[in-house]
Amino acid sequence: MLEQQRIHVLVADDEPHIGRIIKMKLEQGPFNVTLAYDGREALEKMESEPDIALVVLDVMMPYMTGLDVLARLRADDRWRAVPCIVLTAAGQEQHHKQAMALGANEFLTKPFSPKKLYARAAELTGVPTEGMGVSER
Ligand SMILES: [Mg+2]
């Protein structure tokens, strides 16, 4: 599949292995993943790569939290409608309400199932998951 036909996803997490796992899983399907490692870099990627169609944000990141990034996206006409999945560490579930109030489309607690993340990413971007073995939750 050509890169330009793939759905461009930004994944921002300060733990590099989490980003790698998500990238590996999503790129098994029609996604192309760009990684960022802090909140500031996430916003920079949004500016420089206008075709990003889905954003995955970890909450606890240096410089800006994922919730701060989400608030910035939802306050900007360019990004208001871009679906966002928020990730948080176990024990940080208090972020759930905040994330949803800020306009997150999905909230997952680590450790999460890559299969579930794939299924939600597919749902949020209109990619069929049937027959790919990834639609179960
Ligand atoms: Mg983190």
| Distance of CA 85 from the midpoint of ligand 1 (Å) | 14
Listed as own residue / partner, the contacts of 101-105 with beta carbons closer than 8 Å and 24 or more positions apart are 102/67, 102/70, 102/71, 102/74, 103/70, 103/73, 103/74, 104/70
Q: What is the dihedral of CA 125, 131, 133, 137, to 10 degrees?
A: 60
Distance (Å) from CA 5 to ligand 1 centroid: 30
pLDDT digit string (tens) for 66-112? Answer: 999 999 999 999 999 999 999 999 888 889 999 999 999 999 999 99
Question: 44 C-alpha vs ligand 1 centroid, how far in Å?
Answer: 18
Any idea which fold 3-125 has?
Rossmann fold (3.40.50)
Tally of residues, the chain: 137
Domain borders along the chain are: 3-125
Mean pLDDT, the chain, rounded, equals 92
Q: What is the pLDDT of residues 26-61, one digit of tens each?
A: 999 999 999 999 999 999 999 999 999 999 999 999
88 C-alpha to ligand 1 centroid (Å):
7
| pTM of the model as a whole | 0.92
